Chains A and B, each alone.
Chain A
Amino acid sequence: MTGWHLDDDALRRYVERTDSLAEGTSAEQHLLSCEQCRGRVTAAVDVIDFAAVWDRTRDAVEVPRPSVFERLLRVAGLPAHEARLVAVASAFRGVWLTGVVAVLAFAALAAAIGHTRGMWLFLAVAPIVPCLVVASSYDPRMDPALEPELVTPYPALRLILLRTIAVLALALPAMLLFGLVVPGEAAFAWLLPAVGFVTVVLAASTWVSPLRAAIAVSLAWLATVWLLAARSSSPESVLQARAQAAFLALAAASFSIFLLRRRWLRQLRPWR
């Protein structure tokens, strides 16, 4: 630039920090605009482990940026690492959500157009979707990210509850929206059964894999709906207060079992 450069002595004093404030400031001003002297300083500095810092920097930038959902969870007050654990659940990957939404949309459409049979279809599908989504959100076979998570000492109960809440927070509004397409009270009749099935899956997952539990629950429900549909032609029977109360009781009982047996959740891994 100007032909003036830091001489070797000044450079050494600067790097060793034995210069005065005025001299150091002058050196710093010069360094900002002189690539050559910057290079000489850089070559003389070993104040930190540059290779290690580079490795960390590269690792940090190669980690994908948190998804919108994960950032939302953080805004909601969840610590960063927990937001990551909740958000990596496979249910939040686009494909999964699309599939769930598509199934629901078909069911809701069928209910809106196809009268009684369509209504049965909606009542058959809607209550089991949440428990399937919840189960897949923490089943090790569905979610490779779970494997490292579960070998680290992390309260499995907290993780699963957080994920369940997050899944439901995503799935329930979507399903309610589709429910609006469905005529009559059936639009909301599936809510209590859905909650009941989710808790059954949680409780059952202390014995078997959550996905297996969810599939079993789903099959049982489909069979029940099929039987009901075959016997009486009205879908209203599910809406009766007694039936709804039974689902509520089921939810309460299952959740108690889940809490009582929660220590068995730590044995998630042997399912693989």
Chain B
Amino acid sequence: MDSRPSDEMLLAAVAERDMGAFRTLYERHAGWLAIRLARRCNDRDLVADAIQDTFVAVWQRPQGFRGDGDIAAWLWGIAIRRLVSRLRTRGSVAAVFENPGAAPAAEDQVLLSVEYGDIGQALARLSPEMRAVIQAVVLDGLSAREAAQLLHVPVSSVKTRLYRAKAHLRAALAEGSS
């Protein structure tokens, strides 16, 4: 493990225009970034474009990473915004959120409640639209505007859905604990 250069070293080499380090960085990160994007947008071409944009952006501005936190988190921040921006320019192409595991098997459900407690069940009870908004805004940290572009809905819908989803979760958790 120690012989492998760290992401920080690779990024520093990329800043020095080292194509080999750039390739290593790509091989290390393109995969998980792509699957994470693909979970938010089922158009594979768009995902591929967003991955390309992400690494082009990294090449052009490696100094954008300020050295705080993980390079992986920084890369993800670029990737999700590149996806949103691709969606905006494509316009008409619908980005459909996959509905992850609409009905988990019973044993998974048990595992879930053990591992995540009531929150997992509360999330599972949300409608797909609300879950998508929760995922985009709360978990991916997008702004309401970016989330609206990603989900192809008006900003106002994002806000109301988020409000309702939070109310649902709050109620579900309060119910579970009492």
Contacts and interface: CB of A to CB of B under 8 A. Distances in A.
A45 B56 contact: no
Contact of A50 (B31, B101, B108, B139): B31
Interface stretch (A30-38, A133-141, A185-193, A264-272): A30-38
B34 A20 contact: no
B48 to A, nearest CB: 4
Contacts of A58: 19, 22-23
Contacts of A32: 70, 72-73, 76
Bin chain A's interface residue count.
Answer: 35 or more
A52 to B, nearest CB: 8
B112 A53 contact: no
Contact of A20 (B36, B52, B59, B108): B108
Q: Main secondary structure on chain B at its contact with chain A?
A: helix
Interface in B56-106: 56, 59-60, 70, 72-73, 76, 98, 100-101, 104
A54 B72 contact: no
Interface string A92-131: 0000000000000000000000000000000000000000
B164 interface: no
Given A17-B98, A20-B108, A61 B60 contact: yes
A20 B48 contact: no
Given A48-B51, A53-B48, A28 B139 contact: yes
Contacts of A151: none
B100 A20 contact: yes
A25 B135 CA distance: 8
Interface residues of B, number: 45
B31 A43 contact: yes
B120 A22 contact: yes
Contacts of B115: 23, 26
B34 A47 contact: yes
Contacts of B172: none
A178 interface: no
A181 interface: no
Given A20-B112, A20-B124, A26-B116, A31 B56 contact: no
B44 to A, nearest CB: 6
B73 to A, nearest CB: 5
B15 interface: no
A40 B70 CA distance: 18
B30 interface: yes
B163 interface: no
Contacts of B23: 54, 58
B13 interface: no
A53 B30 contact: yes
Given A20-B108, A20-B124, A57-B26, A42 B100 contact: no
Contacts of B32: 31, 38, 41-42, 45
A139 B76 CA distance: 47
A21 B100 contact: yes
B100 A18 contact: yes
Interface of B: 7, 19, 22-23, 26-32, 34-36, 38-39, 44, 47-48, 51-52, 55-56, 59-60, 70, 72-73, 76, 98, 100-101, 104, 108, 112, 115-116, 119-120, 123-124, 131, 134-135, 139
Given A19-B104, A47-B44, 17 more contacts: A20-B101, A20-B120, A21-B124, A22-B112, A25-B135, A26-B116, A35-B7, A42-B29, A42-B31, A42-B32, A44-B31, A45-B35, A47-B35, A48-B38, A48-B44, A57-B52, A61-B55
